[in-house]
Amino acid sequence: MAQIVKTLVPLPSNGKFSVLKILQYTVLISLVLYFGKTLFIPLSFSMLVSFILYPICKWLENKGINKMVSILLAISTIFILSGAVIYLFFIQIAAFLQEWPTFKVKFLDSFLQFCDILEERYGIKTEDFLQLPKNLVSGSGTQIFGILMNMVYSLSMSAFFLIIIPVFSTLILYYREMLTNVLYKLFPSDKKASIHEILIETINSYYNFVKGMLLVYLIVGILNSVGLAILGIPHPFMFGFIASILTFIPYAGIIISSLLPIAVSWVTFDSIWYPIGVILIFSFVQLLEGNVIFPLAVGNRLKINPLVIIIVIIAGGILWGAAGMILFIPFISIIKLIADRTESLKTLSLLLGGNPPANKKRNWFLRKKTT
């Protein structure tokens, strides 16, 4: 692995990168990732799924099950989990539609009361304000058409990913021995043990990534449920953990999962402050999850600096959107594995590492105690 780093990224004679070289490689890699995202995003997800399902496939094969059957059984577990998430979406939407007539009446009453307050206390005429939705609809045909085109494109890309990712994953798992042998052939024979070690640790890193994500969902679900219970919302644990699971889909998941508790709180308590309280609770937990819980839970398991995790999430969102915010975390863990075993990249390994240097006084005390 060190050889491929030296081949792809040749070092200067002094063994150090100049700032200009670092910027050149950063821009080049960013352009390749951005313009090639249609290929790289499903391929990356497929690699992630393959690494996660490899232990399951290996266990099934050791039980005497056919290789392809083992792969299909493992892939089916992903479909079941994905179907469960989609089912939660439909539950949320269906329940919200049942509450919608009452919710609409209360919303219109509150809106009219707000308009009356503006007219009586502040002398603001609300006739034009009441016609604003109609004016927006009648005068924004081009904008609506653009939004619909973007939605169609997003849905088509999502359908493409849903089809191609299982295909890629199945083929990667089926031809894993061939792909591993090809990887071995690219390097000298004395590097085979090091490459094998990196592959095993990469699989472990992805596995730790999944465990970290499950821990994030558990913590976020507990925080959501406790906040809703304190507020007095009915069924707080159901709403809290559904919102936690749907945070797997950045931004859209938390918005959809909050609709039903907002509607239920408004209908139940007949007060605007309870829906506002639900919004504040979910917003605070989402902010806490993105900046504290996720970097600490996932970063500690991958042994990566939480500051690097936050930067990587932002960079992934810029280049690949929501997919990049998920995929770039395992990418950086693989880079750290390579940097740990490459002498010229020790500085990068130190930068990405999550463990701060040990305190010298504490080390001196331990040495004195042992002697």
pLDDT tens readout for residues 53-66? 888 888 888 988 89
- 135 falls in which pLDDT band (50, 70, 90)? low
Q: Report, as an integer, the average pLDDT of 294-323.
A: 78
- 360 falls in which pLDDT band (50, 70, 90)? very low
Q: Which of 143-147, 284-288, 336-340 has the highest mean pLDDT?
A: 284-288
Q: Residue type for 86, please?
A: I
- Residue 251: the pLDDT is 57
- Residue 367: the pLDDT is 46
- 196 falls in which pLDDT band (50, 70, 90)? confident
Between 185 and 94, where is the model more confident? 185
Tally the residues of the chain. 371
- Residue 7: the pLDDT is 44
For residue 259, pLDDT beyond 50? yes
- Residue 370: the pLDDT is 43
- Residue 357: the pLDDT is 46
For residue 256, pLDDT beyond 70? yes
- 11 falls in which pLDDT band (50, 70, 90)? very low
Q: Which of 33-37, 90-94, 160-164, 241-245 has the highest mean pLDDT?
A: 33-37
Between 297 and 324, where is the model more confident? 324
Any residues with CB less than 8 A from the CB of 3 and at least 6 apart, and which? Answer: 187, 188, 191
d(CA 301, CA 212): 6
- Report whether 167 contacts 64 (CB < 8 A): no
- Residue 112: the pLDDT is 72
Q: Which of 56-60, 199-203, 252-256 has the lowest mean pLDDT?
A: 252-256
DSSP 213-281: HHHHHHHHHHHHHHHHHHHT-SSHHHHHHHHHHHTTSTTHHHHHHHHHHHHHHHHHH--THHHHHHHHH
- Residue 86: the pLDDT is 74
Q: Which of 51-55, 84-88, 148-152, 161-165 has the lowest mean pLDDT?
A: 148-152
- Residue 88: the pLDDT is 72
For residue 279, pLDDT beyond 80? yes
| Per-domain boundaries in the chain | 36-186, 204-371
Q: Report, as an integer, the average pLDDT of 328-342.
A: 80
The 3-state DSSP class for residue 359 equals coil
Cβ atoms within 10 Å of 66's Cβ, excluding its own = 11
- Residue 15: the pLDDT is 46
pTM, entire model:
0.64
Q: Which of 98-102, 157-161, 340-344, 361-365 has the highest mean pLDDT?
A: 157-161
Q: Which of 8-12, 134-138, 314-318, 333-337 has the lowest mean pLDDT?
A: 8-12
Short-list 271, 273, 246, CA closest to 257: 246
